Structure 1
Amino acid sequence: MKVVPPVIVTDAMLTASNVPETDHPEWVSGTTYPLGYRVIKASVHRVYESVAVENVGNDPQEDDGSWWIEVGATNRWAMFDEAVGSATRQSDTIAVTIASGQFVDTLAVLDTDAVDVRVQVSIGGSDVYDETLARGVEQTSLIFRDLPVDPAATVSMTASAASAMATVEIGTLIIGSIVDLGITETGPSVSITDFSRRNTDDFGTTTVVERGWAKRMGIRSLIDAADADIVQRRLAALRARACLWIGEEEYDSLTIYGFFKDFSIDLSLVAKSYCTLTIEGLTNVPPLPQSPIQEAIDGLEDLLIKPAPDYIAKAVLLIKPNGRVGAIMLTNSQIQTGFDAELDALRLFKPGTDDLLFEVGDDGIAMNDVQVNRIKAGTGNSAQFGSASASGSLAGTGAAQVVLSKSVTLLAPGSIQAVAAVATAYSGTPAAADLALYIDGTEVFSAGGAAAAPAVPLSGSKSGLAAGTYSVEIMFNGPSTMTVNGRNIATTIIYD
């Protein structure tokens, strides 16, 4: 029979972890949170859920339950939170490094589904211990004994999933020094305490409310009679501490994280005595279920198609106090590439009303009272169209003059394409039309020739333009014997 009083892992001891602490957004005092929204406070490694409709300026850590409820530890710290039922989960591997600064000789991983767990110990930069244990089919706990004892040691643990895409889970990670409580006698008893409620009404109908449960073990160990006082003092020192109790390492049912309920030492034998213990495990309570609002937020993030596993895409669903969707923001923290979001159905309403503004459904996309200034125009591009025209007659002066102009605004880097048509007339001997098309002060097309034509087409483009407003102009440089009549410019924007 052995017991391991756990070392309380602090921020300073946890020198490395590959599990990010980004379960939910960090709480911000000036932000208004709706009912059911979850936040974290990384300073205390806890997750909180809003229990009010318009929750602003209320610190979750200091709240008395009026505005927030505490959900539990963040994902990174769930395996250190001294609770049963919470767990740290991550794809591929969970890897941590602990420098406790204390004498420890045991590391235990409880309630895990890892394929294998590797523990390494280094002292002064030199590796002094490296062992990997594979988990059996029905096994949930792995215990590493006889670690090198040195307060300067750093202990690294790596738990691996079956594949890089699979999830690995650790319920509890314990480090500490093992205490021997004698030889376990045959016939220990194991059971569970179920906290579920069963009610049967007057008609014989039984309803069950499922609640948590806890392991329970009754065990007796054989100790030297001379050690009875030592064992009694050791157990008395652990009366208010959750510890890892190990009846036999080969049986998960005889490995319990919890408290001893009572103990007695039988001093009837001269050389040997019996120590009898009842151990009750911590209650295995499932995590608090997410609110529908938080489920919607997490579900929207799952819809994002990430270009690579190391790219971080984020979706935020902003919900107004009346429960309506206020806005959706999709962002990609890795600006080197984009991403897509697949939505089977989406409905957006005008704030405070039931007026449908935008809907994505099986029948396509419907928009009511929505102004669109960009439309899809081929893969990766957006187009914006516009035109300008004039009909008054203008006579040539022999010098360049603008006969029609149009302003074009680029909302993002791109190019401008323009086409124009000019109707001309002349008296006497035909003369050259001498018309030109300019974009941003640059001539992109000119029309001249030996004789004038009744209608002159012009077209051209300019690329490499930054976001901004640019002019598109038709320039006329004809003689006084020539006039321009109807004229038109049509422009198209192609965004990069």
Structure 2
Amino acid sequence: MELNIIAPMLMSEAHLVASNIPEDDHPAWDAGTTFTKGAKVISPLSHRIYESMQDGNIAHDPIGDDGTWWLDLRATNRWSAFDNRRANRASRTDQITYSIVPTMDCDAISLFGLTAGTVRIEVWDGASRIYDQSFVMVDKGRVVSAYTWFWGGIAYARHKVLNGFPGYIGHRIDLTISAPGAVAEVGHIILGRNDLIGTVLNGAEVQHVSHSRKDYDSFGDEMLVRRGSTRKITIPLQVPTIQAPRVMDVIAEVDGLVVSFYGSPDGGLYGIEGLGFVDDHTQPLDAAGDSVFTLVMKTLK
């Protein structure tokens, strides 16, 4: 099994050219309108939702505000799929569509936090459709016995990763996330270049990191405050020493960026996949031919 990292293309209006999700979560901020405390607005420039912190809020642009007048809540529904978080999901009844024109060569895509029956990926070169694949999101990994095969119900995969499609500069990539009769959701989309890091060795560890905490009410009784969880993944890798500079360059390129990493094209093998960042990378060099080192990744909520 090989470990891959998708170096992300940073999304902007130049890339996201169309979507069936309107950006109408709340009224757009207007410099001439007076907003009361608690009023919510959106900014078409930042694609984020803000809440007024005071009455008489007029002519204070929420972009760049220090919190005196506006509280930055989250990305708008349309842009929630590109805000570096899985928990804040873009949603729409039945179906979500995005049309993206990359400004860098993108041969891989990873979708997190899915609620969907199918995912379709199309690539267009002008008026010609040069790639078209649909994926049924049924999670067969939940079938662990004859009982679950017949009576376990249908479970759907929350993550899809694909590489090797022709997402070159100037092509248009159409994504369709379908959940007929329900609410389609996607937590985060990463589109970019796939980089092979190395061969995964035995001994990889997936650590559950709980962010919940124990609190007390006014009577001293214990309460568990649920705050979700993330994972810390420690991956021993084998890399030909001659490729060490390439691997170090890839890690340096994605340092401080939210990336997709996975251990197989199916994006679910052994749980070595996620949306996260590089936490630690020390690469000893073995002149004998192959170097073995440990890469530590941490996921985001």
* TM-score over 0.5 for the pair: yes
CA contact (8 A) 2:27 2:42 kept: yes
**How far does residue 232 in structure 1 lie from its aligned partner after superposition?**
1.9
Q: In the alignment, does 2:114 pair up with 1:125?
A: no
Matched residue count: 281
* Amino acid across the alignment from 2:54: A
**How far does residue 81 in structure 1 lie from its aligned partner after superposition?**
1.5
Partner of 1:59: 61
Unaligned runs of 5+ in 2: 140-154
CA contact (8 A) 1:119 1:132 kept: yes
Give the SS at the match of 2:165: coil
Give the SS at the match of 2:8: coil
Post-superposition Cα deviations, 1:59-91, rounded to whole Å, max 9, x if no partner, equal 211422111101111111110122231111001
**How far does residue 218 in structure 1 lie from its aligned partner after superposition?**
0.9
Partner of 1:174: 190
Distance of 2:194 and 2:40 partners within structure 1: 39
Q: In the alignment, does 2:277 pair up with 1:259?
A: yes
* Amino acid across the alignment from 1:76: R
**How far does residue 219 in structure 1 lie from its aligned partner after superposition?**
0.8
Unaligned runs of 5+ in 1: 285-496
CA contact (8 A) 1:140 1:252 kept: no
Q: In the alignment, does 2:206 pair up with 1:190?
A: yes
CA contact (8 A) 1:49 1:71 kept: yes
Residues 33, 252 of structure 1: alpha-carbon distance in 2 compared, 3 angstrom cutoff: farther
> Could you tell me which of 144, 151, 155 is aligned with 2:173?
155
Residues 46, 252 of structure 1: alpha-carbon distance in 2 compared, 3 angstrom cutoff: farther
Give the SS at the match of 1:133: strand
* Amino acid across the alignment from 2:253: A
Distance of 1:39 and 1:184 partners within structure 2: 47
Distance of 2:169 and 2:44 partners within structure 1: 28
Distance of 2:18 and 2:127 partners within structure 1: 15
Distance of 1:246 and 1:275 partners within structure 2: 17
CA contact (8 A) 1:121 1:153 kept: yes
Distance of 1:234 and 1:19 partners within structure 2: 34
CA contact (8 A) 1:14 1:97 kept: yes
Give the SS at the match of 2:271: helix
Identity of aligned residues (%): 30
Partner of 2:234: 218
Q: In the alignment, does 2:72 pair up with 1:70?
A: yes
Distance of 2:286 and 2:7 partners within structure 1: 29
Distance of 1:207 and 1:185 partners within structure 2: 41
Distance of 1:126 and 1:75 partners within structure 2: 30
Give the SS at the match of 2:97: strand
Residues 76, 264 of structure 1: alpha-carbon distance in 2 compared, 3 angstrom cutoff: same
Structural RMSD (CA):
2.1
Distance of 2:224 and 2:55 partners within structure 1: 32
Distance of 2:207 and 2:93 partners within structure 1: 33
Residues 195, 11 of structure 1: alpha-carbon distance in 2 compared, 3 angstrom cutoff: same
Partner of 1:246: 262
Query: What aligned pairs does 1:192-207 form with structure 2 within 5 A after superposition?
Result: 192-199=208-215, 205-207=221-223
* Amino acid across the alignment from 2:36: P
**How far does residue 22 in structure 1 lie from its aligned partner after superposition?**
0.3
Please give the TM-score of this superposition, normalised by the length of structure 2: 0.87
Distance of 1:149 and 1:117 partners within structure 2: 17
Distance of 1:62 and 1:260 partners within structure 2: 29
Give the SS at the match of 1:161: strand
Partner of 1:492: none
Partner of 2:8: 6
Query: What aligned pairs does 1:329-408 form with structure 2 within 5 A after superposition?
Result: none
Residues 22, 252 of structure 1: alpha-carbon distance in 2 compared, 3 angstrom cutoff: farther
CA contact (8 A) 2:115 2:158 kept: yes
Larger radius of gyration: 1
Please give the TM-score of this superposition, normalised by the length of structure 1: 0.54
CA contact (8 A) 2:209 2:231 kept: yes
Partner of 1:27: 29
> Could you tell me which of 253, 278, 288 is aligned with 2:296?
278
